[in-house]
Structure 1
C-alpha cells in the first residue's frame, strides 16, 4: 500500500517501542460537559487494555448493555490512555463500587444531558518516549516537529486498520462489490478496511499533487499534472503545503460544521489558521461528495 509523505527529510534514527511506559494518549473532548443531566461522564485512565475491553469491563461492573456505554474513539491497547466514557447516571454507584481492576482508574466524573457518541473529539494529545537520541538527532526531530505543527501531516489510516497481513481491505473490496447486505461485525470491519484503503489512496494522490505544485514552476507543474495553467497559478498562490481545490468538502474545526469550498482567499486563510480542514472521501452510500 503506497503512501506519499509530505516531508522529504532523511530518516532520523531512534529507539521506540509502543508500550504502556512509552506511549501516552489523551482525548480532547469536542465540547465542554455541562455537569448537569442524566448521563455520568467518566474520565478514565487505562493501560494495556483496548477500548472494547474497557467497555466490556464497565458493562459487567454496572450490569449495563454495551450499547448503553458511550465513547468518542478507540484507543490503543499497548499504551497508557485517557478517554471519556458516558453511562446512564443511575449506574454511578455500581461503577464506583465494582470497578476494581488496577488497569482502570477513574480520574474525574462529571454529568451531561447527552451521551458521548463516536467522533465527538476535538483531537488527541500524544506523548511518546524515544531512546538513543543524540543531540543532533534531537535537534532534527524538533525541527521536523515544529514544521509539522505549522503545516500539519497527512492523516493516513494506519497499519492496524488493515490486519496483520495488511490485506484485509481486499476481502472488504470483494464484499463491498458483491452487492449483498453486510452480515455481522466482521464483514462491516472488512468493508471499513476497504473504505480506509480508498481514503489513503485519495490522500496519497492529493499529497502528490501538492508536492508537484511546490516543487515545480507553473508551466512545468501544469504539464506534469495535465492541469490548466490558470488552475496551477491559483494553487501555486496558496502558501501552505496541502493545496485546496474549489469544491473540496471542508469541515470547521473543532465544531464540525461542513461546507463546500467556493473561493480561495477566506477558505485558505481558515485552513492555515487551523479553523477548518479539508475532508477526505470515505466511500459509502452516505458519503458527502465534492462539488
Structure 2
C-alpha cells in the first residue's frame, strides 16, 4: 500500500526546484482554456452543437443546465473534455434535438447560470468524449514568480525541451483521496456502481504512470529513446517499438517528431520490449494492489507519451507582479504540470 503520510510524492522536475512561490487561478478569468478541434460541425443533422464559454462551472454542471433548458436528458448532451470549475472554458457541447429547434430564449436562460452560447451549428452525430485534439491555455500568474529574474530563461528551456507529461494533482483529489479510495476498492474488489465515473481507476493508472515517468526523469531518459521503447509519432495516434536506436531516431526525438511512452496499466501485454518492459513491469509490481486491481477491473493496457511540447508558447509581463503565459497542450496533458516546473504552490 502507498504510504499516504508522504503525499504528495516527490516526483522530480526536469529543471530542478521551482523558481519562486506564486498564485494562479485566483479568479476564473486567470485560467482560460479553449478546446482545439480538427473538424467543425457540418451544418445539418439531428444534433445541435453549442460553442459555449462557461465560467465557474464544471463541465457536468454545464451539461445539466443545457439539458434542463433544452428539455432533454443529460445523457442526450455530449461533450469532449472535462474542464475544471475555477476557469473560463470554451468548448463544444452537443444536444440531441431531432426535428426541432432549441427553445426560445434558451441562450438567455443559459447565460443567467454562467453558460454563454457563442455559436450554434447542426451536426449528424453526438459529440463524443476525447475527440478534441488539444487545449490552449492562457494563464495569469501573480506573486514572486512574476518578477523572478530567471523566469524567462526557465520558460524558454521548457519551450525548447517540452514538459514531463505528469498527470496533475487534480487527478488524485485533495490529499490523494481518489488514490486512497482506489486502494480500498481494489482490496475488496472494485465495483462500477461504487465508482461510476471511473475516478478510482483513473487515479491508480495515473499514479503508476507518474512513477514510470519519474524513474525515466531521474535517469534523464524521458526524452531519449531506448531499445525496446514504444515511440509515439507526434500529432498522431500511431506508435511503434524501437528495437534499435540509431542517430536518426535520436535526431527525430530531439526535434519532437517522436517521443517515448510509458504504460497506462491494465489488462493485456506491455507493448514495450527488452529491458524497458522488464523495468516497467518491475516498477508496477511495487504497487501490486493497484496493478492487480486495474487488471481485475478489466481496464485495458494503453500508453501515454512521457514528454509533451508547448505549442505556440508566449510569455507577457503585464505588471511587476503579474505575468501571462499562453501555450497549447495535447488532449489529456495538464497545465498544472507546466506550472510545477516554474513555481511553488500548494496545489502543484
Q: State whether TM-score is above 0.5.
A: yes
CA RMSD of aligned residues (A): 2.9
- State the 1:91 CA deviation: 7.7
- State the 1:113 CA deviation: 4.1
- Aligned residue among 55, 66, 69 for 2:63: 55
- Structure 1 residue runs of 5 or longer lacking an equivalent are 214-240
Q: State whether structure 2 residue 292 is matched by structure 1 residue 282.
A: no
Q: State whether structure 2 residue 127 is matched by structure 1 residue 116.
A: yes
- Aligned residue among 208, 226, 232 for 1:245: 226
Aligned length: 260
From the superposition, tell whether residues 114 and 40 of structure 1 become closer, same or farther in structure 2 (CA, over 3 Å). same
2:254 counterpart residue number: 272
1:227 counterpart residue number: none
From the superposition, tell whether residues 284 and 278 of structure 1 become closer, same or farther in structure 2 (CA, over 3 Å). same
1:205 counterpart residue number: 215
Q: State whether structure 2 residue 12 is matched by structure 1 residue 4.
A: yes
Matches within 5 A, 1:142-181: 142-181=152-191
- State the 1:128 CA deviation: 1.5
1:217 counterpart residue number: none
Q: Is contact 2:69-2:110 (8 Å) kept?
A: no
CA distance in 2 between partners of 1:68 and 1:266 (Å): 49
- State the 1:127 CA deviation: 1.1
Structure with more strand by fraction: 2
**What CA deviation, in whole Å up to 9, does each residue of 1:250-278 have, x standing for no partner?**
33332323333344355444443334433
- State the 1:50 CA deviation: 0.4
CA distance in 1 between partners of 2:180 and 2:90 (Å): 33
CA distance in 1 between partners of 2:235 and 2:192 (Å): 32
CA distance in 2 between partners of 1:286 and 1:96 (Å): 51
CA distance in 2 between partners of 1:281 and 1:48 (Å): 34
Matches within 5 A, 1:24-173: 24-29=32-37, 31-33=38-40, 35-38=42-45, 39-88=47-96, 90=98, 93-94=101-102, 97-99=105-107, 100-102=109-111, 103-132=114-143, 137=148, 139-173=149-183
CA distance in 2 between partners of 1:92 and 1:254 (Å): 38
Q: Secondary structure at the match of 2:19?
A: coil
Q: Is contact 1:169-1:193 (8 Å) kept?
A: yes
Q: State whether structure 2 residue 195 is matched by structure 1 residue 191.
A: no
**What CA deviation, in whole Å up to 9, does each residue of 1:107-148 have, x standing for no partner?**
2233444433222232211112223468852x5222222221
CA distance in 1 between partners of 2:59 and 2:242 (Å): 36
Larger RCO (CA under 8 A, 6+ residues apart): 2
2:235 counterpart residue number: 254
From the superposition, tell whether residues 34 and 157 of structure 1 become closer, same or farther in structure 2 (CA, over 3 Å). same
Q: Is contact 1:175-1:191 (8 Å) kept?
A: no
Q: Is contact 1:270-1:276 (8 Å) kept?
A: yes
- State the 1:175 CA deviation: 2.0
TM-score calculated relative to the size of structure 2: 0.65
Q: Secondary structure at the match of 1:202?
A: helix
- State the 1:174 CA deviation: 3.2
2:192 counterpart residue number: 182
- Structure 2 residue runs of 5 or longer lacking an equivalent are 1-8, 274-348
Q: Is contact 2:44-2:121 (8 Å) kept?
A: no
Q: Is contact 1:12-1:140 (8 Å) kept?
A: no
From the superposition, tell whether residues 78 and 10 of structure 1 become closer, same or farther in structure 2 (CA, over 3 Å). closer
